[in-house]
Chains A and B, each alone.
Chain A
Amino acid sequence: MFVYISKRLLWVIPTLLAVLFLLFSLTYLLPGDPADIILGPRATEEMAQDLRERLGLDRPWYEGYIDYIRSILRGDLGVSIFRNRPVFNVVMEVLPYTLALTFAGMGLAVFNGIIIGLLAASYQDSWLDSLLTFISFLTASTPTYIASVLIIVVFSVNLNLLPSIGLGEGGLLNSLYYLIGPAVALSIGWTGYIARLTRSSMLETLESDFIQTEKSFGLPSYYIIYKYALKKAVKPIIAVVGLGIGRLLGGAVFVEVIFTRPGLGRLIVNSIYERDLPLVRGGVLVAALLFVLANLLADISYAYFDPRIKQE
């Protein structure tokens, strides 16, 4: 297990180096003079020169790349062009909102997905099962941005029940209230996935020998489901949560933009609009780190539940 985790951790390093290289090449890959594109016609030649220096465009690329890695290792992500603040601070300021949104979305997906899956499995082949399977397929194939717009149109515009923008300005309860729409929108796709997974895993468990034995002892079926089957059936679900967090981080970009919430995704989108390259780089780097961490978590949890790897 320890060897396995260490191996995984070591793999993170080349992944991050590749990400850093891609991010660094951004300035070189983007056609045109970044100074012209970023500053526009009003910029004086001095300003353009100053920006080229800040972006390291006045040096050969490999020098710039080494410098870039060095400063990253020092924890220095550069300074945002338009905010005039360290990129690290800007990113850290919005990161908690993205994490809150992602975890809330995941929590909802797991909770609802398991309930739907359990119901479907318990009433296998009934009309309820068909209905729930249909719902799972529908939600699993609804893109996050469509879900977001639908929630706003139905719950904000028509029913006037949920807010469609911002964070709210009250205490915790108010913030949670503002989180409902975005979190539900984000959770929808993964809810269907988890529901299907729960159903099949549950059905498999219910047919296994030890459950059959329990049944033959005459234990009531709800007791079997809660006490024994669920415990076993839920394992593969926990294993996919790590993977899901990575996916939901991606979905959070749409949700943040559509619901006008602060967060890593919206920050990256805005900085791309403004062509604030240091901020784009910093934002994407942190997003990539999170993604890698989430995948690592997924790998480790797989390992934990897979006795073969656990043995190693």
Chain B
Amino acid sequence: MINSKRIITISLILVLLLTLIGTGTLSAQNNRLDIAIPGRTQTLDPGFLQRVLSEWPVMNSIFNGLVKYEPGTFEVVPDLAHDWEISDDDREITFYLRENVQFHRDYGEFTAADVKFSFERIIDPEANSPEAPSFVQLEKVEIIDDYTVKLILEEPMGRLFTSTLPFNAGLIVSKEAVEEMGREDFASNPVGTGPYQFERWDVNDNIHLSYHDNYWGEEPEFKEVQFMPMADPTSQELALQSREIDIGQLTLDNFESIQNMEEFEAEIYPDLAIQYVAFNTTRYPLDNRELRKALRYIINPDDILIGAFAGQAERAYSILLPDMIGYWEAPAYDLEEAGEEYVWNLLEEAGYPEGEGLELEYVTDATEERRMIATIIQDQLSDFNIAMDIEALEVGPKIDRWQEGSYDFTYARFTNTVDPGYNFQWNLTEQIGEWNLFHWSNERYDELWNEAETIIDEEVRSNKYIEMQKIMDEEAIGLWITHGVKTPAWKVDLNPVFSPDGVILPWLVTSR
């Protein structure tokens, strides 16, 4: 009959061959860091990024700004500018630039002309850059000499040093390269002064960077970096376990099991974002402030953190992360501390004794996590006889409902930056019908926000934001739940450095 021996022999040879090729390719790439990132990078031009955070690790490796965040903190320190002076009226800022800084791929020395070019192309109304609001008060940039440059502002600009200059909008591109290639080609062929230069974008959307020989700063240990977009978190975890990536992100479901493995380390960082419950303050019945105050006690964020975040995420008491300018800790509104009796009384004062007759419409995303959160809140409300109707929607209809204001309350996650002005702008009156999910308007709040935008002094600015947070708290417009988490994991033989929100800084990674 059929020669099964031959089949077995062939299969054995195949397996053997596999093993041979296998050992060749799977051994660790000694000088390259393979880093998984959650999504495909859309553009490599820092002046035209649509999203706020996802491109940051790549941008940060290729470009420098005049200033940067000190690694591991949000403190702003010199980068391409070694020093600066601020005029008395806070409207002229003179930067003294580092000399002998070279652009990648022979695009010459970095000078004041590159700074002028990089910033002015963003404020050019023709260019339509999504970063334009980051430079809203910038009038022009003046070149004093090759190594001195002056930013002239129409009004003092609060967010200049907190988020504009050290972040995407402040990154310096090579004037010569952009002019030579044109904006569109530059977006896939970036030229900066950072530790790594761009090599190629492969068909798998991986971004390959290599060490920039003329880099002005300290030489990184790893000479090559590969950013690999992997949208599926399970794939990232498996790739990490099969040692095909060096650094990746875990899901909370598997965090503990991987953290306990000897070959890997993992850590939890707060995400630079805010997740919150927003009450629709203009629609019956939650236009009733007393009722909103009662709900703040009834909705317990701690249960949500346990149920939907495996108990690994920290509770948020502000839109801001604790070490940011203007941080103010809102009260916890703890039901146990206040006592149920107190909350029943609040409900009665609001006109709903025994919670009877209350039925609230809740709009949320159709994801598993958000449905879980909804169910937890529903359960908490039912203890006070309040019915809750959950509507889990796809993004499109959800945004429609948000903008129409056709809901009683909702759950949202907004990405933040390090600047409070950016993070607090969504609650302004002008954002009603756009992204103000409270449909809330407060004159004093708007006034304070506008004032803070034009203040550079950190303490004065900070006080404005604290007052704004107290107003939001007094008005009981919502409840901050958590900042969420980032959970990077890496091979144990690496020594990675992360920003306070868990973003990898590849050029600082060393091996043990």
Interface string of A23-42 (1 = CB under 8 A from B): 00000001111101101111
A260 pairs with B203, CB closer than 8 A: no
B residues in contact with A177, CB < 8 Å: 18, 21-22, 25
B residues in contact with A156, CB < 8 Å: 238, 242, 244
Pick the contact of A260 from B130, B228, B403 — CB < 8 Å? Answer: B228
B residues in contact with A43, CB < 8 Å: 50, 130
B51 pairs with A40, CB closer than 8 A: yes
B residues in contact with A118, CB < 8 Å: 2
A residues in contact with B228, CB < 8 Å: 165-166, 260
Which 7 pairs show the lowest CB-CB distances between chains A and B? A32-B396, A156-B242, A31-B397, A82-B42, A31-B396, A157-B241, A262-B204
Sample of 6 further A-B pairs with CB below 8 A, known A42-B133, A156-B238, A274-B42: A37-B396, A44-B132, A118-B2, A119-B4, A163-B242, A258-B232
B234 pairs with A149, CB closer than 8 A: yes
| B263 vs chain A, min Cβ distance (A) | 11
B231 pairs with A270, CB closer than 8 A: yes
B residues in contact with A34, CB < 8 Å: 396
| 27 chain-A/chain-B pairs, Cβ below 8 angstroms | A32-B396, A36-B399, A39-B130, A40-B50, A40-B51, A41-B434, A42-B52, A42-B130, A97-B203, A123-B1, A149-B234, A149-B238, A156-B238, A160-B243, A163-B244, A164-B239, A165-B230, A174-B21, A174-B25, A177-B21, A222-B2, A258-B232, A260-B204, A260-B230, A270-B205, A274-B39, A274-B40
A170 within 8 Å of B (CB atoms): yes
| B276 vs chain A, min Cβ distance (A) | 15
B residues in contact with A262, CB < 8 Å: 203-205
Interface string of A107-121 (1 = CB under 8 A from B): 000000001001100
Given A37-B396, A165-B230, A173-B21: A44 in contact with B128 (beta carbons within 8 A): yes
Interface string of B407-445 (1 = CB under 8 A from A): 000000010000000000010000000110000000000
Given A32-B399, A94-B203, A177-B21: A260 in contact with B239 (beta carbons within 8 A): yes
B400 within 8 Å of A (CB atoms): yes
State the CA gap A42–B435 with chains docked (Å): 10
B residues in contact with A221, CB < 8 Å: 1
A residues in contact with B4, CB < 8 Å: 119
B451 within 8 Å of A (CB atoms): no
- A178 nearest CB neighbor, chain B only: B25
Interface string of B446-484 (1 = CB under 8 A from A): 000000000000000000000000000000000000000
State the CA gap A221–B2 with chains docked (Å): 10
B1 pairs with A163, CB closer than 8 A: no
B43 within 8 Å of A (CB atoms): yes
B: number of interface residues (CB 8 Å): 52
B242 pairs with A93, CB closer than 8 A: no
Interface string of B44-57 (1 = CB under 8 A from A): 00000011100000
B204 pairs with A164, CB closer than 8 A: no
- A176 nearest CB neighbor, chain B only: B21
For window 191-236 of chain B, which residues contact chain A by CB distance below 8 Å? Answer: 203-206, 228, 230-232, 234-235
A residues in contact with B234, CB < 8 Å: 149, 258
State the CA gap A92–B239 with chains docked (Å): 27
A66 within 8 Å of B (CB atoms): no
| B499 vs chain A, min Cβ distance (A) | 20
A47 within 8 Å of B (CB atoms): yes
- A170 nearest CB neighbor, chain B only: B25
B residues in contact with A149, CB < 8 Å: 234, 238
State the CA gap A44–B275 with chains docked (Å): 24
Given A166-B228, A167-B204, A222-B2: A84 in contact with B239 (beta carbons within 8 A): no
B18 pairs with A180, CB closer than 8 A: yes
A165 pairs with B52, CB closer than 8 A: no
Which of B19, B187, B205 has most chain A Cβ within 10 Å?
B205
A122 within 8 Å of B (CB atoms): yes
State the CA gap A280–B4 with chains docked (Å): 48
A82 pairs with B43, CB closer than 8 A: yes
| A298 vs chain B, min Cβ distance (A) | 29
B residues in contact with A164, CB < 8 Å: 235, 238-239, 242, 244
A residues in contact with B389, CB < 8 Å: none
Given A164-B239, A168-B25, A262-B205: A82 in contact with B50 (beta carbons within 8 A): yes
For window 161-220 of chain A, which residues contact chain B by CB distance below 8 Å? Answer: 161-168, 170, 173-174, 177, 180
A257 within 8 Å of B (CB atoms): yes
A261 within 8 Å of B (CB atoms): yes
Pick the contact of A37 from B19, B245, B399, B434 — CB < 8 Å? Answer: B399
B residues in contact with A40, CB < 8 Å: 50-51
| A237 vs chain B, min Cβ distance (A) | 17
Given A84-B184, A163-B242: A257 in contact with B18 (beta carbons within 8 A): no
| B164 vs chain A, min Cβ distance (A) | 14
B359 within 8 Å of A (CB atoms): no
B7 within 8 Å of A (CB atoms): yes
- B208 nearest CB neighbor, chain A only: A169
A32 pairs with B242, CB closer than 8 A: no
A2 within 8 Å of B (CB atoms): no
